[in-house]
Structure 1
Amino acid sequence: MELTKELIQEIKLTPDVVLAYKVNKGGSYPGVWVCKDLVYYYTMWISPKFHLQVIRTFDEVTNQQKSYIGMINQLSAVFEEENNKASKAGTTLNRWKDIKREINNQIEQLKADSQLILFN
């Protein structure tokens, strides 16, 4: 028990660990949350087989998360690129509408100016 307390103190000194453990006895989500280090430590007491299963499960879940994060990052980059293209296309389309309107106005003005005037 003393060794466990010492380990918890050491974990609390680690800058990247926000919380060593938390016990929530009531509310919507009762349970105990612990950092990975304490889980590994606890599993060593049960059996070597269980300890190995826990380590492998953590590794598998972590690798899956990294894979999903990688896919999310790739899709986000594709989305951003396509969004930029769409924005440029929208800008070009709006500019074309202005140019088209101006050209049509000039054509109509030229048509009007080219009409033969019989009477003044």
Structure 2
Amino acid sequence: MTYPTVIVNGVSVRVDREGRYNLNDLHAAAVIKGEATEQQRPSQFLRSAQVKRFLKALKSKVLKSTLEQIQPLNVIRGGDNPGVWGVELLAIRYAAWINPVFEISVYETFREAVLNGIGNMTRLNRLDLLIANESKEVSESARKMNRWGVGGRKRMLSSTRENIIEQIDPDMVTIMEGKSS
């Protein structure tokens, strides 16, 4: 599954394969607008007793509601993608911890990403329906053309026409052919 990339205060917030957002990117977005200090890094956020209780409840709920057992928090030290990665609820909770105005901005950004995804799905469904309907029409036309073509209805009608012409007086056929030219 592809998760939407979000941009907060001009900073692209990375998303991992499990749909967790990089809280370090959110912190950078808040610092740029003066909504956070350097001391409000994700590592400080995770030390809070309230946040630890929130994470415990979140882990319990996530593990009960999904078969995949995606952890709501992933802290990576070193490597290609270091940082603190959290599910959307944790990212919004982090934004609230930083600053209420920043929380609203992050929430609206995430909501917009979801709504855009739903809008795109709606457009995709409509397009799929249009393709299916037009494919059906083309298939019906192709079947009709196939029945008409070689060995089909056209041959039968032409053969019937020839039989009728054979039964007409030869002088009448000459008169009819003279009128059609």
TM-score by length of 1: 0.72
2:57, 2:88 → 1: CA distance?
12
Deviation of the 1:46 alpha carbon: 1.1
Aligned length: 114
Residue 154 of structure 2: which of 60, 79, 100 is its match?
100
Deviation of the 1:94 alpha carbon: 0.2
Query: With CA pairs under 8 Å and 6+ residues apart, which has the higher RCO, 1 or 2?
Result: 2
Q: 1:72-97, CA deviations, whole angstroms, 9 ceiling, x for partnerless residues? A: 11111111001101000100110011
1:44, 1:57 → 2: CA distance?
14
1:14, 1:56 → 2: CA distance?
28
Deviation of the 1:113 alpha carbon: 8.7
Residue 139 of structure 2: which of 71, 87, 93 is its match?
87
Q: 1:41-82, CA deviations, whole angstroms, 9 ceiling, x for partnerless residues? A: 221221111111110001111111111111111111111001
Q: For 1:1-120, what aligned pairs fall within 5 Å after superposition? A: 1=47, 2-16=52-66, 18=68, 19=70, 20-22=72-74, 26=79, 30=81, 33-97=85-149, 98-107=152-161
Divergent runs of 4+, >6 A: 109-114
Deviation of the 1:104 alpha carbon: 3.1
2:153, 2:75 → 1: CA distance?
68
Q: Which has the higher helix share?
A: 1
Deviation of the 1:99 alpha carbon: 1.1
Deviation of the 1:36 alpha carbon: 1.3
> Structure 2: 5+ residue runs without aligned partners?
1-46, 171-181
2:142, 2:112 → 1: CA distance?
44
8 Å CA contact 1:23, 1:33 repeated in 2: yes
TM-score by length of 2: 0.51
1:7 aligned partner, one-letter code: A
